[in-house]
Structure 1
Amino acid sequence: MPDYVGSILLLLGLLQFKHMFADFYMQTQKMLSGRGIYFHMGRAQHAGVHVIGSFLVFLIFHTPMWFILVICALEWFIHFNIDYCKACYSESKQLMPNMAEFWRAMGTDQALHHFTYLAMVWAWMEYTVI
């Protein structure tokens, strides 16, 4: 396997590992409550936790700082808005974990986040790897 393929897989794997911890282990009550309000500080903090993790992952790969700052700003904006859309949808439908539609919303949310990581890895390859 070419070295760059291993690097791509490792970068993607680390971003997904970071995602698991930021989304499921590091959320506070403030981050989880009131998510249907657009300018919600808890959601902003949650997206910030994701950005800190991505910042560290890209540092491990000796990624140029200009790229890290741009990609993390984009990730923050995208993550913030994906979570907002899921919160609005879930609240409007009054979804609960015992409902199949709750899990479809959760799965769509998670898939969109992981597609974001695929785009981030593509951008890393396109703009930083020679």
Structure 2
Amino acid sequence: MSLVKLMDTITIAISVTDRHASARWYKDMLGFEALYHADDAGWSELQTNTAGVTIGLGEHTKPAPGNSVPVFGIADLVSARQQLEQAGVRFDGPNDVIEGMVQTATFYDPDGNALMLAEDLTGRA
């Protein structure tokens, strides 16, 4: 039995310099379709060919090469974070909230690999 119950979705977050150009590349090369572009948040999301798996493109002026972060969907991020912190899991600062869109929290595995939890705040989860 796991400490927290994840949902049946995963988003793989990738740092890019131009989300729109990257979205076109993923469409042309791999057949992924853009779900949306949240320009104010610097985020685009693409549907992969695998149910429940999306690619998130985070726009950065200097993305880290080879950087990708698995983002696990969760119904109640605050409760899950409390449980993980009580078990000694290290988090990277407070939760990030984009009102009406998403709440996220970055945490680390024992080797320092970044992982993220995301709670959908749009009401379409």
What TM-score comes out, normalization by structure 2 length? Answer: 0.26
Higher helix share: 1
In our comparison, the structure showing a higher alpha carbon Rg is 1
Higher strand share: 2
What TM-score comes out, normalization by structure 1 length? Answer: 0.25
State the structure with bigger RCO (CA 8 A, min sep 6), 1 or 2.
1
